[in-house]
Structure 1
């Protein structure tokens, strides 16, 4: 039996941001439709959103500017990066190319008004992450009120029930309208028009017209037990009864009258109650949520509220309970905002309540990848399918980008995209000149195959995408006098070399360079995955030699005088460590090219480069950068440093509903000091990924168990996690007794794996060993293998981070 409240967020006060209450709301979603519950007593607001509702975009024909590329390259190779920086962007500007990225548009606000005669008491709002149900409860006089909402995954419905327990009967008014205009931060924003609302019996109708002249809207139906319904001042009033059920369907890009009639008919035929709809939804949602579990402590009695956990974190040590809940929350948010066939979760998830949300798009130079890092090891591989669906819908645009910008075959994915277009929409040099987007996305494609063993996916989706990416590199890279490739122009997101800055806080003169280390790290990974994958299934045999030849032309990584890996593999450019991005560490994380075992000397050089980034100081960090560093340190076996990053994140960029922001908005000295902190929940997902990275690192045929276990995590249990090779891993540990219990199961095939333990063990399943760290195990398909270890010295003091095997 699970401890009460283990996977619940509990709060004792409502959303409080004036004009931005959605930021502190409690979110529910089914991967397509979102609802954010503010939690107000007298006048409740529920923000409703739909993944297909975007606005503000302007798509133009992308001009062919590839003939200007030789000029830009010539300047770069001659040492004039400043002049080269603007060649391609200025050409687009001169040709009148002024497109706009679209942003997610809030669909509407549901307003719920209830009387408050005596003043509320015993207020609480709660999110059950196992079901997605948001509940607001309070007592007014002798009456206890409950409002509960969830977004049904199987039925595509928002389901809302209001109950009066003892005391007074219900008196509720409902209305729908445009989302709060106080969330319009730019006065130039073009709002939806042709707003229309009306009430017909127990139905509420809402519609408006988007900037593309298509309609969107909603229909709500009220079923009241024992109450009467009437229209009052444009709202539907329900008087009497002990409970009522509100069901809501949304529509996008559909003529309003036809949509209204269709939805009205569907809601009329819906005869299922709240409990039955919740059970149906909870089974599908829960299948994903419970695919992995985490326990860091054995709590007794009720769990603490968010406010109590944050107060303890502010005093210097994040409670284990909060660690667990933040891990679960990142998992919950990804499930709630991802569904096969839809759009990927972006920086706002499904809950963008801003008009023209800042950075509310799919960003592939860090953020989208961080959002989905947790999905594979967290045993939710199907959530990644939405990323692949999205990318494949936009392939023609990505090919157009490659050809028109660089005269190349294959694909070029801009850092920011939105569902309406994959064309380059952002002309700034640091976006236009970054060519690593497709390759970084390709890592997810190949990892999906490695984690699931799905050869049909490898053949039909992963290898074709990798091949398109390699085609771009084949045409884009040029060969230098030494026979090695040159990547030019090149960007190391989002940094600029030290010799192009006059001071640490000055705006860089240019970020456009030659041979960013990340460019070649990604390209090398793409080619190796192509070769390995093609050979595994006997595909593309005529091209494998070509890809091997390309690999040989990628230059070796370069090092600074202090032995650290350089961020730019070209003598014109010097490192600049005062920056939160750590792009040049890609071969160690998120890549797997360099490990302590595969190349100990180069691994130490990458570690040295990563630790030099500590020069940045706390004041330059953000929510996502702390989450990235936590994953980074976990991959490097530095569990305590990884945990420290999460603790700093919990004290700086986490709001009371546990959403993360881009920066510290309270001027507390941790993170960028901005009065308005952009909403950005990638750090929520990065937190979940970092926890999993501390507990398991895998390569095909090799499992590193507890590679970066923090000292504070004395005992716990996690799993089943998913490892490369399609192996499920469940691990329980106890530092005080020096013991680990391990369960492994190969999902689809029999295989031999090497298990790498954090320290030498002297006892396996009661049998004495000679202090071994590495064990060879034969796994039969579908059969669980259980192992029990006792460590040398009877104590698991620290993890060695995948050190040399003994």
Structure 2
């Protein structure tokens, strides 16, 4: 057994028990049993909808100022009515990512018994074995190196491989053709649907499935390929789309990828796949004590035992590495689009209801990339960073039309073409800092890598334009003189005004999240302009604006205020805790620097957790865990991760949003919990923010012995840790750039001053034992 394997001793009944593969472009969730196996195939750019401008009559400054005056007067009902008339957009052909097709294998001679399914995170290989008379072994991989999804079927006896292969489209417009002589199923589809677009527009796809058999024969029956009595068979799949393409070259790219892979042969494709994957996955290793007993149990049984209160530190390490695996599988440096609501996978559930498999900008898409830098996968961040640049381009028109402002803005969600307008109802659609929230990832990427070329070329220009928007858009509080946003949401929450409880409101001036994001934006642009020696006039404006931003405030109940005023919470059990961005993943609130605000944040977390009807969804539990990690509360952080893994994951460890919440009709896979949980795990072992690196800041008692190698810290450094009996044994810091930081462990703190390329090894007292 391996501590980096998900494994099961029975078949998978459906998609929600299947195991995911991905090469950054195509994804597959594989499920089934001895008699039948399904590869649920997706492609990252297979979107319904189309690029289109939001029809909107441009507004002017006077419109916006009049709207704000209504809110300043305290007439929230009239303000929301006016906002609905002025600032809502139309849905149009927004679209959604869609599942592409199912590849279905059937085995007529299978008996079953002795089934083992596994996903090996060290090699990114899926395996299935069945101890029946045929003894067929099935393996599958998604190769980024060769751009294919591939499988191999073997048997313990000669001529023991027999199966039929069919394709079923997951969209209405899908067709396949058979070339039996070549063992080919060619397919073509179009991503159309009528829930999120008009049913006529969507990305087109073409691809190929090809079977190569050693021994036996291949025939065609009713549109299926039938392999009989082969010694071994290979399956190769690839597809391409016309997303963002000019001309017709895209049509043959999938077939060409399959042909190249066949020419190499499965063994070479497998070898190159593992080498390419391990280049990223192998950067981080983690061990949480002796895990041999737990490793002997199937993953589903380990999750069940966790729900019953059993200690299983290795399951948390597995979950962390699974988050890294999903990042690599779903977001490679050349991916055309970043991870959406379901990564690059898609069970079709969100598409058939009012949900959409899109880019939500009020936590979900951001959380998909929370662990990327600390988990040492910086290259996997690049698709998101390029996408932000696209949003900035599209958001200039939105800034001009909706707010008569320079710069760019985006709101609550987006699609494959960079939708930036407000949503089609003000109660959730006027999150004016949604684009800024996502654009923070540019700053995060820079802080970890310190790449001045990236700062000059991408991060600063994009964030500078965001700053220009907010400098123009924000208004002055008529009584306190603060510079505030608004009207806008605190996603996706509502509040009561005064003692009235007959109506709650969503819009206000100066929601806490907005102020936190804007403060970080202005501070980063100021420091970046200074570092790059540019924009002196803008630096003056930013300094003045920073001095006028409102402070974080503590409410009458001791909580961190979610809004500028201490409103009553209409839904104290709400799933969103966006104002706690200041605590995690932000760092404006820390126990070390702002202890009173840290206590207020802790009170806010406690209030949410204690609410009788807490909307306990995947991203909320991940945020709870990350928040408690930042507060140094290891046991409380562990409790949240335990709940996330034990009660908000399917058996395949994919996280989900519970039925009944936000209109969900069933438990829906949402990838952000996997990534947010992985980020929280890393935060429990090492944090880097505010010019300091914190070692083992939130270590729970049950993780008393362990080690981790290769975590990445801000400032372009790598950190290795070893601990025993709950105490640090040694720490190794490798500086990729000149590193000046405070290093903290327990109650001790030292100053690190390392040259680029220098490594220091420290003991439990933070004394250097070696340096080189």
TM > 0.5 between the two?
yes
How many angstroms apart in 1 are the aligned matches of 2:766 and 2:528?
38
> Which of residues 412, 415, 418 is equivalent to 1:418?
415
Once the two structures are superposed, what CA deviation does each residue of 1:711-746 show, in whole Å capped at 9, x if it has no partner? 11111111211111111111111126x442100010
Aligned partner of residue 51 in structure 1, secondary structure: strand
Residue aligning to 1:225? 214
Distance 1:214 1:51, change over 3 A: closer
Note the C-alpha offset of 1:273.
Answer: 2.1
- Measured in 2, the distance between the counterparts of 1:215 and 1:586 equals 39
Which whole-Å CA distance do the structure 2 matches of 1:404 and 1:573 have between them? 34
* Range that drifts further, 588-597 or 600-609: 600-609
Equivalent runs, 1:268-347 vs 2, <5 Å: 268-269=259-260, 270-300=262-292, 303-341=296-334, 342-347=336-341
1:237-290 deviations in Å (ceiling 9; x for gaps): 111221011111212128999766665455445422222111111112112112
Q: Match of 2:643, SS? A: helix
From 614, 617, 627, the equivalent of 2:622 is 627
Per the TM alignment, residue 70 of structure 1 is displaced from its structure 2 partner at its CA by 3.2
State the partner residue of 1:740: 729
Indicate which of 472, 497, 500 corresponds to 1:499.
Answer: 497
Q: How does 1:240-279 map to 2 (within 5 A)?
A: 240-253=229-242, 263-264=254-255, 267-269=258-260, 270-279=262-271
Tell me the SS of whatever aligns to 1:370. Answer: helix
C-alpha change, 1:617 and 1:36, in structure 2 (3 Å) is: same
Partner Cα distance (1:265, 1:456) in 2: 36
8 Å contact kept, 1:195–1:209: no
Q: Decide whether aligned partners of structure 1 residues 260 and 103 sit closer, same or farther in structure 2, where only a CA change above 3 A counts.
A: closer
State the alpha-carbon separation in 2 of the partners of residues 664 and 716 from structure 1: 37
Look up the match of 1:775. Answer: 750
Question: Which of 679, 695, 699 lines up with 1:689 in the alignment?
Answer: 679
Give me the CA root mean square deviation. 2.7
| CA deviation vs aligned residue, 1:65-112 (integer Å, no higher than 9, x gap) | 42443343222112121222132333567xx93424211121111111
2:201 and 2:665 mapped to 1: Cα distance?
34
- The partner residue of 1:756 within 733, 744, 756 is 744
Structure 1's unaligned 5+ residue stretches are 180-190, 666-670, 760-772, 793-806
1:313-392, aligned counterparts within 5 Å?
313-341=306-334, 342-354=336-348, 356=351, 358-392=355-389
Q: What secondary structure does 2:344 align onto?
A: coil
**2:70/2:79 contact within 8 Å kept:** yes
Pick closer, same or farther for the CA change 1:524–1:146 going to 2, 3 Å.
same
Q: Describe the shift of the 1:614–1:176 C-alpha distance in structure 2 as closer, same or farther (beyond 3 A).
A: closer
The whole-number CA distance in structure 1 between the counterparts of 2:2 and 2:233 is 26
Distance 1:501 1:195 in 2: 61
User: In the alignment, is residue 170 of structure 1 matched against residue 158 of structure 2?
Assistant: no
- Structure 1 segment 294-693 matched on structure 2, within 5 A: 294-300=286-292, 303-341=296-334, 342-354=336-348, 356=351, 358-424=355-421, 426-481=423-478, 482-499=480-497, 509-570=504-565, 577-617=572-612, 619-663=614-658, 676-693=666-683
Q: TM-score, normalised by structure 2?
A: 0.91
Q: 1:40 to 1:785 in 2, by over 3 A?
A: same
| Cα distance per residue 1:29-68 (max 9 Å; x no partner) | 0111111111332232111111111014573433134244
Post-superposition Cα deviations, 1:621-645, rounded to whole Å, max 9, x if no partner, equal 1121111100010011111100001
For these two proteins, the number of residue pairs brought into alignment is 747
Residue-by-residue CA offset, 1:733-792 (whole Å, 9 max, x unaligned): 1126x442100010122x333211124xxxxxxxxxxxxx11223323213211121699
- The whole-number CA distance in structure 1 between the counterparts of 2:708 and 2:17 is 29
Residue ranges of structure 2 left out of the alignment (5+ in a row): 192-199, 768-772
What displacement does 1:22 show? 2.2
Distance 1:263 1:51, change over 3 A: closer
* Distance (whole Å) between structure 2 residues aligned to residue 732 and residue 572 of structure 1: 46
Matched, 1:11 2:8: yes
Cα distance in structure 1, aligned partners of 2:94 and 2:68? 28
Q: Is the 8 A contact 2:496 2:504 kept in 1?
A: no
Residue 705 of structure 1, aligned match among 689, 695, 704: 695
Q: Distance in 1 between matches of 2:367 and 2:12?
A: 27
Partner of 1:799: none
CA distance in 2, matches of 1:548, 1:616: 40
- Partner of residue 185, structure 2: 204
Match of 1:80 in 2: 75
